[in-house]
Amino acid sequence: MPSLKEVHTKIQGVKKTAQITKAMNMVASAKLRGAQEKMEAFRPYTAKFNEAMSNLSGGANTTNFPLMEVREIHTVELVVVTSDRGLCGSFNSNIVRMVEKKIAAYEAEGKTVSLVCVGKKGFQPLRKTGKVRKQFLDIMGSFQMFNAREIATDVANNFLAGNADKVEIVYGEFKSVAIQQPVLKHFLPVQPVVEEEAPEKKISGEYIYEPSTEEIMDVLQPLYLNVMVYAAMLEVGASEHAARMTAMDNATNACKEIVDNLTIVYNKARQAAITAELMDIVGGAEALK
């Protein structure tokens, strides 16, 4: 049986930990709100963007753009978007695991894989594979459109240089506060956007384009990639905080449980001490008779 003092110290320690995890939970929930708002604010932009893209691909000849060139696939690049900070449950490790599986699958097909890591927690475990071509670290805290542009431009240039025949992007999708899932999406070559609904407003042929559709496409395609990277980063931002919230909530509950158990141990130990003392006293009194 541990001594009273030992148990007491341990209880105090666990309580302190619970305080920290509780605070982290609250910080995460506050930050989640911000991240979610940022995501909501971006939604109309993507919606409009896709609308314009589909209008354009309807009217334009989309075969001879370098960013849309479909090549035989020898090399694949994966853009891995994770958070910069840990302590958010299995959120990042799920993404990393998915990437590792994907690498194994591609290599089994005899393809070469390279990686671009956005976020420290993807870079750290994946560094040892030796496949990381480039990494963007410490930007997930407060990123803006130009961060996304930097990444998208780098990846696009690598594609144009012929170093990658296909690019996919892996990130943690924000399904809800409770569910975040790693997803893999096609990135390059750019595929024509096909809009399912609203066939009645097919007026794309009558559009006046300035400059030509081809030149507009040249501007829009890189922008489209920026939008995709930015959207992925927003999703990861929100998912990270949501995952941390859940993880910290679990941690706080676990702490409470440990404190409860330790309190029982403490009370038992105290009771045992009291009983022992009583025995002593009774024994002493008995001896004096």
Judge contact between 127 and 96, C-beta under 8 A.
no
Determine the Cα angle at 81 with ends 165 and 34, to 5°: 140
User: At 176, is the secondary structure helix, strand, or coil?
Assistant: coil
The gap between the terminal CA atoms of the chain, to the nearest Å, is: 34
Q: How far is the CB of 219 from other proteins (least distance, A)?
A: 5
| Polymer length in residues for the chain | 289
Name 81's bridge partners. Answer: 118, 171
Angle between helices 4-59 and 213-288 (to 10 degrees): 170
Q: How far is the CB of 98 from other proteins (least distance, A)?
A: 27
In terms of CB distance, is 179 or 203 closer to other proteins? Answer: 203
Q: Which residues are CB-neighbours of 162 under 8 A, at least 6 positions away?
A: 71
Which one of the listed residues 28, 53, 88, 231 is annotated catalytic?
A: 88
- Give the C-alpha distances (Å, rounded to integers) separating 246 from 13, 87, 155, 189: 22, 10, 33, 37
In terms of CB distance, is 55 or 180 closer to other proteins? Answer: 55
- Give the C-alpha distances (Å, rounded to integers) separating 223 from 124, 148, 237, 239, 276: 29, 10, 21, 24, 78
Clarify whether 255 is annotated catalytic.
Answer: no
In terms of CB distance, is 65 or 207 closer to other proteins? Answer: 207
In terms of CB distance, is 41 or 272 closer to other proteins? Answer: 41
Q: How far is the CB of 250 from other proteins (least distance, A)?
A: 33
Q: How far is the CB of 238 from other proteins (least distance, A)?
A: 15
Residues near other proteins, by CB under 8 A: 38, 41-42, 44-45, 48-49, 51-52, 55-56, 145, 201, 203, 206-211, 215-216, 219-220, 223, 230
In terms of CB distance, is 215 or 260 closer to other proteins? Answer: 215
Q: How far is the CB of 221 from other proteins (least distance, A)?
A: 12
Catalytic residues, by residue number, are: 88
